[in-house]
Copies of this chain bind each other. A is one copy, B any other.
Amino acid sequence: MSLTLNSLKNIPLIRQGDPLADILLNSLEQTNIQIQDDDILVLAQKIISKTEGRMVNLAEVAPSPHAMEIAPQTDKDPRLIELILQESNEVLRIRKGVIVVEHKLGFVCANAGIDHSNVMGDGNENEEYVLLLPKDPDASAKKIREEIKQKTGKKVGVMIIDSHGRAWRNGTVGICIGISGIPALVDERGWTDLFGYTLKATVVGVADELAAAASLVMGQAAEGTPAVHVRGYPYPPGEGSLADLIRPKDTDMFR
Contact = CB atoms under 8 A, between A and B. Distances in A.
Contact of A220 (B107, B119, B167, B204): B204
Given A7-B1, A185-B170, A253-B254, A220 B202 contact: yes
25 contacts: A1-B217, A1-B225, A2-B4, A2-B7, A3-B217, A97-B201, A107-B168, A108-B169, A117-B197, A118-B197, A166-B247, A167-B247, A167-B253, A168-B252, A170-B245, A172-B202, A173-B204, A173-B212, A174-B209, A192-B221, A194-B222, A199-B221, A209-B216, A210-B213, A253-B254
Interface residues of A, number: 78
B253 A168 contact: yes
Nearest to A216: B209
Nearest to A165: B253
B169 A205 contact: yes
A13 interface: yes
Interface string A215-248: 1110111111100000001100000000011110
Top 10 nearest A-B pairs by Cβ distance?
A: A171-B205, A213-B213, A212-B212, A209-B212, A108-B168, A191-B221, A1-B7, A167-B167, A167-B254, A117-B193
B195 A118 contact: yes
A246 B170 contact: yes
